[in-house]
Structure 1
Amino acid sequence: MSTDTVVQPVLTAAPDDEQVHVEGRRGRAPMTRAARVRLIIGHVTIYVAAALFMLPLVYAFFSALKPNNDIFSMPPRLIGSEIRWSNFADVFAFGPFWTYIGNSLFVSVAGTLVVLLVSTTAGYAFGRLRWKGRDAVFVLFLATLMVPAEVLVIPMFQVMQWFGWVDTYQALIFPFAFTAFGTFLMRQFFRGIPYELEEAARVDGAGPIRSFLQIILPLSTSAVAVLAVFTFLSFWNSYLWPLIVTVDYNAHGTLPVGLASFSGLTGTRWDLQMAASIISMIPTTLLVVALQKHLVKGIAMAGLGGR
Structure 2
Amino acid sequence: MARSTLFASKPSVTPGTLFGYASMVVIAAIVLVPIAFILLTSLKERPDIYTEPVQWIPDPFTAENYATVIDDVPFIRYFLNSLLITTVLTVVQVVLGIITAFALVFLHYPGRRIVFLFVVASLMVPNQVTVISNYALVAELNWRNTFAGIIIPLAGVAFGTFLMRNHFASLPREIVESAHLDGTGPFRLLFRILLPMSWPTVVAFTLITIVTEWNQYLWPFLMADTASVAPLPVGLTLLQNNEGSTNWGPVMAGTILTMIPILIVFLILQKQMIKGLTAGAVKG
Pair in the same fold by TM > 0.5: yes
Aligned to 2:56: 78
Q: Is the 8 A contact 2:94 2:206 kept in 1?
A: yes
1:87 and 1:173 mapped to 2: Cα distance?
31
2:182 and 2:40 mapped to 1: Cα distance?
62
Q: Is the 8 A contact 1:185 1:302 kept in 2?
A: no
Residues 30 and 131 of structure 1, relative CA distance in 2, 3 Å threshold: farther
Aligned to 1:170: 148
Q: How far does residue 264 in structure 1 lie from its aligned partner after superposition?
A: 2.4
53-62 vs 112-121, which moves further: 53-62
User: Runs (4+) of structure 1 moved beyond 3 Å?
Assistant: 28-33, 35-45
Residues 171 and 29 of structure 1, relative CA distance in 2, 3 Å threshold: farther
2:81 and 2:8 mapped to 1: Cα distance?
57
Q: Is the 8 A contact 1:243 1:257 kept in 2?
A: yes
Quote the RMSD (CA, aligned, Å): 2.2
> Could you tell me which amino acid in structure 2 is paired with residue 223 of structure 1?
T
- Cα shift readout 1:174-220 (whole Å, capped 9, x = no counterpart): 21212311100000000011111112112222111210111111111
Q: Which has the higher contact order (CA 8 A, sep 6+)?
A: 2
1:79 and 1:207 mapped to 2: Cα distance?
62
Aligned to 1:120: 98
Percentage of identical aligned residues: 32
- Cα shift readout 1:18-73 (whole Å, capped 9, x = no counterpart): xxxxxxxxxx9974342577656644543453234211111111100112222232
> Could you tell me which amino acid in structure 2 is paired with residue 165 of structure 1?
W
Q: Is the 8 A contact 2:119 2:162 kept in 1?
A: no
Q: Is the 8 A contact 2:82 2:232 kept in 1?
A: yes
Residues 204 and 270 of structure 1, relative CA distance in 2, 3 Å threshold: same
Q: Is the 8 A contact 1:223 1:302 kept in 2?
A: no
Aligned to 2:229: 252
2:146 and 2:218 mapped to 1: Cα distance?
15
2:215 and 2:75 mapped to 1: Cα distance?
15
How does the TM-score come out when normalised to structure 2?
Answer: 0.90
* Match for residue 273 of structure 1 among 226, 234, 251: 251
Query: Which structure is larger by alpha-carbon Rg, 1 or 2?
Result: 1
- Cα shift readout 1:97-145 (whole Å, capped 9, x = no counterpart): 1111111111111100000010000011112222111001211222112
Residues 31 and 91 of structure 1, relative CA distance in 2, 3 Å threshold: farther
* Match for residue 228 of structure 1 among 206, 216, 224: 206
**Secondary structure of the corresponding residue to residue 103 of structure 1:** helix
1:29 and 1:107 mapped to 2: Cα distance?
59
- Which residues of structure 2 form unaligned runs of 5+? 1-5
Q: Is the 8 A contact 2:39 2:253 kept in 1?
A: yes
Q: Is the 8 A contact 2:93 2:156 kept in 1?
A: yes
Q: Is the 8 A contact 2:42 2:249 kept in 1?
A: yes
Q: How far does residue 88 in structure 1 lie from its aligned partner after superposition?
A: 1.5
